[in-house]
Structure 1
Amino acid sequence: MPGSRRKAVVEDGLVILGLVTVQLVGAAYMVFLGPVLSLGIKPLFLVTFGSFVTATLVFPFAVAFEREKWPSRLSPMLMARFLLLALGGVTTFQALLLLGVKKTSPSIASAMPNLAPGIIFIIAACLRFEKVDMMYWYSRAKILGTLLCLGGAVAMSLLQSPSVPPPESPQRLHPFGENLLENTYKDWFIGCLCLFGAVLVISCTMVLQAATMMQFEAPLTLCSITSLLGAFLTAAVQFVVEGRINIGNPVIKLESIVAIAILGGMTTAACIAFQTWAVKRKGPVFVSMFSPVQTVCSGILSAIVLHQMIKVESLMAMFFMFSGLYMVLWAKGKEDFLLTEVASTAISTQLDADIEKPLLS
């Protein structure tokens, strides 16, 4: 195996291992969020404080490793992209995600983002960030794998229904006069809408992120800037909506809340920084295809920690999601290899043609 090919294989292996680790950490964080939000902490406060911690932790690494890559001046278009990334990827996405987790369950919250690969694939293909040519088998394999992931994600979301205690009689009412079962399904439906909105937002954000890093090749700096802007934007949204920066009515001490927010910020910092770098190296579609790992791990952890039942149908849906993931990864690997071979052949042909040309014409 040539040295360049071996180096590419090692890099691909490290990227895949890192992305799997990110999804494992994300699954644990998702399961952890459910009990935390039930303590009475405002989701917007968690987003604000956590994003500020993320920006603070990532910034020293950005200065150490990327300072030479910073442009001498920021164009208005680049600053506008920073603002859109912060508004979408930090404020809107995390607020909708936390609200969705609060109203549904960690399993559904982890399954819904599996819609992102299909959405991102469509957006990236339309913007020509992703190569799609139905004449080639690897393009057909990527489309089929994406459809399998989409189908598995939708099936798992529909199969996971909210669980409520069985009513003693059909007329049993909620203390406030609402039917308990109807109220539970209403919250579940609203939560699913919030999660779907979060997926749409993060899909557009990842494509915009890939486009931004073509001009600003500093992923750690981009992560720090967008996290800091997102913290200020989220605080502004909460101030406008509620009139103040409201921590909520938690049943735990302030020190515990700060520790939870710092832990969330550290986790988010590591995951976002690595994913931002992976998007730069492999593109948004490749990174988004690892969402099924978080779904499976979240389902297992929910069953162990929160005692939530995993249905056989859900396991089948997970199987389809992983099949689609493997198919896309396999097609992407073959595509990159073939494109590299074609480029090498073209360069060799051009060199041979140049050698055969007479020195004097």
Structure 2
Amino acid sequence: MAKAMEQQKRVSHVFVCRELKPHLFMVIVQVGYTLLYFITEASFNHGMSPHVYVTYRHIVATVVMFPFAYFLERDARPKLTLALLMEIFLLSLLGVSVTLNMYFASLNYTNPTFVASMVNTIASLTFIIAVATRFEVVDVWNPRGIAKVIGTMISLAGVLIMTLYKGPVMRNLWRPLIHIPRKSAAITEDWLKGSILTVSSCVAWSLWYIMQASTLKRYPAQLSLTTWMCFVGAAQSAVFTVIIEHDSSAWTMGLNIDLWSTIYGGVVVAGFLIYIQLWCNEKRGPVFVTMFNPLSTILVAILAYFVFGEKLYLGSIIGSVIVIIGLYLLLWGKERDQVVCMKSTDKSQCSAADPECRM
């Protein structure tokens, strides 16, 4: 009897660990993204061009991910056609070269707390674009549809507050524990320019998610598609950087923060963290993965204010809270849609383009 109870406890323990594994992995992902903000900010303040960083980062990511994509998806890759190559080219523009160049450049004009907070709006922006392009249908007479609409409006209100209202700076309680030197005091003053760059990158990311869902139907090899996007995106970013970056010394890196930030961004973020997200997405779905995004915002705000002594503005705090409230209303509506789709025997009732409704 005692042996049976012990075995039952062991089985229960294994089950709990298995159920909590995706949660632990997504926490690791958000911690990884949190560190990315500060590592890249330190590198840019050290003098590295954000455009050179994006190019080098995806070259590293391509080299790291190629063997995994080649061997693990050898039998899963469909034949590439001209139409697919054109889609990959456009996906690389939206998801890598244009978007990331705007995104990381915005760090020069705002701060990591603001940039991390704006990422939470991607879910709302994606929802708006999906509705406008009829990828998703909203039933305004259903509580789920009402929650999605209200959540989207609340999130966008938070974005407007963060963009248009800077507010008073919060006084630091003590001297920064870790100091990130800046190139100049004026470089962080163009808040409007940084806001426009960040919002534009979030819109491009939203378009990328919608197009990616369509492309994956014809090219269902996620690692290979990601490798292709990193390769093509690196080439696009290199051309863009050569056009606007006239100083050839910008391409030179030494054994300093520039090299380590590039390796971290390419190996850890574009390689390891992307793989974890794909695994969690397969096990629990995109709604589960998206729900952890606000954790990065909270971690960035805590580290920026208490550890790195970054300026924290009242507008960013108020806007972030409003965005997160709206995000979870939207995600609640999406999650209830998923439950209904799973219970429904008629899958045609679900939006065919909605990733949450795929079985």
How far the C-alpha of 1:228 sits from its partner, in A, is 1.0
TM-score calculated relative to the size of structure 2: 0.76
Q: Match for 2:208 among 191, 195, 205?
A: 205
- Residue 126 (structure 1) aligns with: 132
Describe the SS at the equivalent of 1:67: coil
Asked if 1 retains the 8 angstrom alpha-carbon contact of 2:121 and 2:323, the reply is no
Structure 1 residues 281 and 326: CA distance shift in structure 2, 3 A: same
**SS in structure 2 opposite 1:262?**
helix
Matches within 5 A, 1:253-272: 253-254=254-255, 256-269=257-270, 270-272=272-274
Against the structure 1 CA distance between its residues 233 and 162, is the aligned structure 2 distance closer, same or farther, given a 3 Å change threshold? farther
Asked if 1:62 is matched to 2:69, the reply is yes
Note the 1:141-152 alignment, pairs <5 A. Answer: 141-152=147-158
1:147–1:124: structure 2 CA closer, same or farther, 3 Å change rule? same
Q: Does 1:26 align with 2:33?
A: yes
Q: Where do 1:70-109 residues align within 5 Å?
A: 70-71=77-78, 73-109=79-115
Whole-angstrom distance in 1 between the partners of 2:224 and 2:107: 29
Of 312-321 and 23-32, deviating more is 312-321
Taking the aligned partners of 1:247 and 1:101, their CA distance within structure 2 comes to 18
Distance 1:10 1:124 in 2: 36
Structure 1 residues 137 and 284, CA gap change in structure 2 (3 angstroms): same
What is the match of residue 331 of structure 1? 333
Query: What is the alpha-carbon distance in structure 2 between the residues aligned to residue 345 and residue 84 of structure 1?
Result: 30
Post-superposition CA distance 1:149-203 (Å, at most 9, x none): 322333234444597xxxxxxxxxxxxxxxx99x668622211111122112111
Where in structure 2 are the equivalents of 1:315-326 lying within 5 Å? 315-326=317-328
Count of matched residue pairs:
320
* Aligned mates of 1:345, 1:112 — CA distance in 2: 34
In structure 2, what is the Cα distance between the partners aligned to 1:81 and 1:11? 37
| Conserved? CA contact 1:210–1:283, under 8 Å | no
CA distance in 1, matches of 2:188, 2:259: 33
The 5 Å alignment of 1:340-355 reads 340-343=342-345
Going from structure 1 to structure 2, the CA distance change for 1:210 and 1:345 (only over 3 Å counts) comes to closer
1:323 positional shift: 2.6
1:45 paired with 2:46, answer no
Query: Structure 2: how far apart are the matches of 1:162 and 1:243?
Result: 38
2:207 aligned counterpart, secondary structure: helix
**3-state SS of 2:310 partner:** coil
Q: Alpha-carbon deviations, 1:312-348, whole Å to 9, x = none? A: 66444433333333333332222222222221799xx
Percent identity reads: 27
Q: Secondary structure at the match of 1:41?
A: coil
Q: How does 1:194-233 map to 2 (within 5 A)?
A: 194-233=197-236
**Contact conserved, 1:162 with 1:184, CA < 8 A, in 2?**
no
How much is the aligned-residue C-alpha RMSD, in angstroms? 3.5
Asked if the contact 1:138–1:332 (Cα under 8 Å) also holds between the matched residues in 2, the reply is yes
In structure 2, the CA distance between the partners of 1:260 and 1:32, relative to structure 1 (3 Å rule), is closer
Structure 2: gaps spanning 5 or more residues: 1-15, 170-183, 349-359
Corresponding letter in the other structure for 2:104 = L
Q: Which amino acid aligns with 1:150?
A: L
What is the alpha-carbon distance in structure 1 between the residues aligned to residue 101 and residue 324 of structure 2?
28
CA distance in 2, matches of 1:341, 1:52: 44
Query: 2:8 maps to which residue?
Result: none
Contiguous gaps of at least 5 residues in structure 1: 1-8, 164-179, 347-361
Q: Which amino acid aligns with 1:120?
A: T
1:235 maps to which residue? Answer: 238
* Farther-moved stretch of structure 1 (10-19 vs 37-46): 10-19
Q: Is the 8 A contact 2:44 2:108 kept in 1?
A: yes
The answer to whether the 8 Å contact 2:42/2:257 transfers is: no
**Offset, 1:226:** 0.3
Output the amino acid matched with 2:77: W
C-alpha contact 1:142 1:327 (8 A) present in aligned 2: yes
